[in-house]
Amino acid sequence: CLAQHLGLPQAVAMVLAKVAKCPKCLTFWITLIVLLVAGCETFFAIMLAIVMAYASYYFGLIIFIFQSLYNRIWEKVNKEK
């Protein structure tokens, strides 16, 4: 009752909404939780979660570059028809 009165659930929901908007943050926290539940050491889990967060970010960047290339090729092919 005290947590509800102080607005703790709303504060937690706001933080979770911010984390869910950021792909790196979401990947970091999900990876960290899964590794800790799986029984990995804390330091190793944190380091691996950081690596996975940045790897997922750069993988998304590569996919975006390929999408841009595909769109340019698609437009060029459609203009020729």
State pLDDT tens for residues 9-58.
777 778 878 877 888 888 898 999 999 999 999 999 999 999 999 998 88
Beta-carbon count within 10 A of 40 CB: 16
Alpha-carbon distance of 40 to 46, in angstroms, equals 10
Q: Is residue 35 a contact partner of residue 48, using CB atoms and an 8 Å limit?
A: yes
Select from 67, 66, 63 the least CA-distant residue to 55: 63
For the whole model, what pTM was predicted?
0.64
44 compared with 80, residue with greater pLDDT:
44
